[in-house]
Amino acid sequence: MTTVWIKNPQAIYTANELDASGGVVISGGVIVELVALGQQPTTPYDQFYDASRDVIIPGLINSHHHFYQTLTRAWKPVVNAPLFPWLENLYPVWAKLNSEQLYLATQVALSELVMSGCTFAADHHYLFPQQLTDAIDIQVHASQSLGMRVMLTRGSMSLGQDQGGLPPQHTVQEIETILADSERLVRTYHQRDAGTMVNIALAPCSPFSVTREIMQQSADLAEKLDVRLHTHLAETLDEEQFCLKMFGLRTVDYLEIVGWLNNRTWLAHGIHFNADEIKRLGEHGVGICHCPHSNMRLASGICPTLDLQAAGAPIGLGVDGSASGDASNLILEAKQALYLQRLKYGAEKITPELALNWATQGSAKLLGRADHLGQIAVGYQADLAFYRLEELRFSGSHDPISALLLCGADQVQHVMVKGNWVVKDKEMQCVDIEELRAQHHQQAKYLLAS
């Protein structure tokens, strides 16, 4: 087992108050020592890496995405559409998705993410047309080839247009099919140790695309299998009106009545809550994934992050689908969160460190892995992102951690996952990016032409 000292970084953000200014020592994929500035490790090491040109942070964690949407970025018919018409136009396109397209889309999304500094990504996949019933299996294999950690959620749609929902009828599945496949996937792929590379969660899509029954039964199954729950909630005022009309309930009341108001649950977006709902979400430890780029692109609103956090609800970050955020870049998502939340709460309260904390510790909490991911600390997994501040945009910057967001870092120099180099000198180690891009772009054109 090789032990490596990542030595004397230019700067290091640990996401806690611990001092690692002299670097970190890694063995067996785990951080075994933090080294103070000017000190030598007490742990014997075999190799060292000179990090004097690098700014190091914990690997970023993306807590909400739709990998398949990389195939429909910047599609002209929906460029200026809000959420509901955006979905209504895209559902028929997405319903044609095949296995090769999903594999490539997953690899593209994950490659983009890791090149931005992300080491662990959650995906919300809810499309299972007849030709793609093994979608999550495909995603497992696509992620394993890249060496990234993933939380793959078995999504579902069971409320079609015939029953008053938003999705076309041919995109929905029966409850029995959804639950059987959900249990199969958890038992086949879900791992539970600290070094886990694949997690599975259950994720009915949204109030306007699933029935009350699948929400309730998914909650029961998640408790039985001890896995997490995920869905979209309170993203738009249209959704709020849909819940009032369809269920006679506001979104959080609906969440409670179907058994989801607990700390097993994390929600995407979480914008339109009143004060009482924020209090209840916090009391039950429900997590919220803030998706600033998507919320601005679709003009959905601004997540009340600090109010939720003060109430006890963990906050994480997600890039959302690449057709609504249009780029799978998590360091830029942290920058956007910084700026968007300053509009709501002011510059003094929203700091670069807070935005980075949402993208590391916060997202780790949402995904149930905060005891070994999201920080640089002894006993934590050696998931690290290395940036260099050597481009013109960084010239004249003084605080390296602030410069990552304020000056717009958008690509890593290196990334380490579980102590392994996944990106080295800006190059992916396990995939030919140019070949992947060419194949993916070809399939994107084919999908829209078919």
Question: Are 330 and 116 spatial neighbours (Cβ–Cβ below 8 Å)?
Answer: yes
Alpha-carbon gap, residue 9 to 272, rounded angstroms: 42
What pLDDT does 168 receive? 87
pLDDT tens string 97-140:
999 999 999 999 999 999 999 999 999 999 999 999 999 999 99
Alpha-carbon gap, residue 91 to 446, rounded angstroms: 16
What pLDDT does 184 receive? 98
Alpha-carbon gap, residue 107 to 96, rounded angstroms: 19
Closest CA to 159 of 124, 97, 203, 206: 206
Q: CA-based Rg of the chain, rounded to a whole angstrom? A: 21
Question: Are 398 and 112 spatial neighbours (Cβ–Cβ below 8 Å)?
Answer: no
Fold of 60-366: TIM Barrel (3.20.20)
DSSP string, 351-419: -HHHHHHIIIIIHHHHTT-TTTSSS--TTSB--EEEE---SGGGTT---HHHHHHHTT--S-SEEEETT
What pLDDT does 346 receive? 98
Alpha-carbon gap, residue 342 to 433, rounded angstroms: 36
Alpha-carbon gap, residue 100 to 259, rounded angstroms: 36
Alpha-carbon gap, residue 94 to 89, rounded angstroms: 10
Closest CA to 154 of 115, 189, 103, 112: 189
Alpha-carbon gap, residue 144 to 27, rounded angstroms: 22
| Tokens coding 101 | 């397209």
Closest CA to 371 of 180, 239, 192, 121: 192
Question: Are 177 and 168 spatial neighbours (Cβ–Cβ below 8 Å)?
Answer: no
Delimit the domains of the chain by residue range: 3-58+374-428, 60-366
Report the 10 Å Cβ neighbour count for 94: 24
Report the 10 Å Cβ neighbour count for 247: 15
Say which residues have a Cβ less than 8 Å from residue 286's Cβ, sequence separation at least 6.
Answer: 255, 260, 261, 262, 263, 265, 266, 267, 313
Q: Do domains 3-58+374-428 and 60-366 have the same CATH topology?
A: no
Closest CA to 99 of 132, 72, 71: 132
pLDDT one digit per residue (tens) for the chain, 450 residues: 899 999 999 999 999 999 999 999 999 999 999 999 999 999 999 999 999 999 999 999 999 999 999 999 999 999 999 999 999 999 999 999 999 999 999 999 999 999 999 999 999 999 999 999 999 999 999 999 899 999 999 999 999 999 999 898 888 999 999 999 999 999 999 999 999 999 999 999 999 999 999 999 999 999 999 999 999 999 999 999 999 999 999 999 999 999 999 999 999 999 999 999 999 999 999 999 999 999 999 999 999 999 999 999 999 999 999 889 999 999 999 999 999 999 999 999 999 999 999 999 999 999 999 999 999 999 999 999 999 999 999 999 999 999 999 999 999 999 999 999 999 999 999 999 999 999 999 999 999 998
**CATH homologous superfamily of domain 3-58+374-428?**
Urease, subunit C, domain 1 (2.30.40.10)
The gap from C-alpha 58 to its chain's centroid, in whole angstroms, comes to 15
Alpha-carbon gap, residue 419 to 260, rounded angstroms: 36
What pLDDT does 227 receive? 98
